[in-house]
């Protein structure tokens, strides 16, 4: 039986599209559903040919309607891919150690509420950091504090900008997030 994942997004959905694409022909893992709380996300406009069920929800539906749907799906893993809303405690209790997130810094540095995307890369450059990277972690009841599953670092070059860092981080995310998902589901 295939392992099922559910993905949550708030943005454009490039990480979700990458994950769907990686597992499209897998006989072991399938993306059961993608949820977005951004009604303007291109992923909702059917601009993917991956034939995955994708739904918009308003934030007030997260605790009841969406939670009930996900219990019915019964995923093996819930994957946050640029999802900016805090996951309610009922999810964390019900889906214990089954919710993961990817963060565009080396946690615990540059984590917490409001720290995402270019805000992080701006701070990293502002603080003259020598390296940055990605962290994949379990979701806990606090932003970006769950147990770390995987980290990958890269050096920051003198000529790096917020844009070049963002591109480098996206490459790491696209390469490693599907691999970590697979390693968690297929032992």
Q: Which residues are catalytic?
A: 103
Beta-carbon contacts of 49 under 8 Å, excluding residues fewer than 6 positions away, are none
Instruction: Confirm if 172 and 16 have CB atoms less than 8 A apart.
Output: no
Maximum distance among all alpha carbons in the chain?
A: 50
Distances (CA, A) of 53 to 6, 30, 33, 43: 10, 11, 5, 11
Please report the DSSP string for 91-143 in residue order.
HHHHTTT-EEEEESS-TTTT-STT--HHHHHHHHHHTT-SEEEEEEEE--SST
d(CA 99, CA 165) in angstroms, rounded, equals 26
């Amino acid at each position: 039986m295939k392992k099922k994942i559910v993905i949550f997004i708030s943005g454009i959905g490039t990480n979700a599209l990458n994950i769907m694409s990686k597992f499209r022909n897998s006989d072991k893992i399938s993306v059961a559903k993608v949820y977005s709380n951004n009604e303007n996300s291109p992923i909702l406009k059917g601009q993917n040919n991956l034939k995955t069920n994708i739904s918009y929800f308003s934030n007030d539906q997260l605790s009841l309607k969406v939670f009930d749907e996900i219990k019915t799906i019964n995923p093996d893993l819930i994957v946050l891919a640029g999802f900016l809303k805090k996951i309610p405690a009922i999810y964390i209790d019900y889906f214990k150690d089954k919710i993961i997130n990817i963060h565009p810094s080396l946690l615990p540095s540059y984590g917490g509420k409001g720290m995402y995307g270019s805000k992080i890369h701006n701070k990293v450059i502002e603080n003259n950091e020598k390296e940055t990277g990605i962290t994949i972690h379990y979701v806990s009841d606090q932003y970006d504090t769950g147990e770390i599953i995987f980290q990958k670092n890269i050096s920051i070059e003198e000529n790096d900008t917020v844009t070049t860092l963002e591109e480098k981080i996206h490459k790491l995310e696209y390469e490693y997030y599907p691999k970590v998902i697979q390693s968690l589901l297929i032992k």
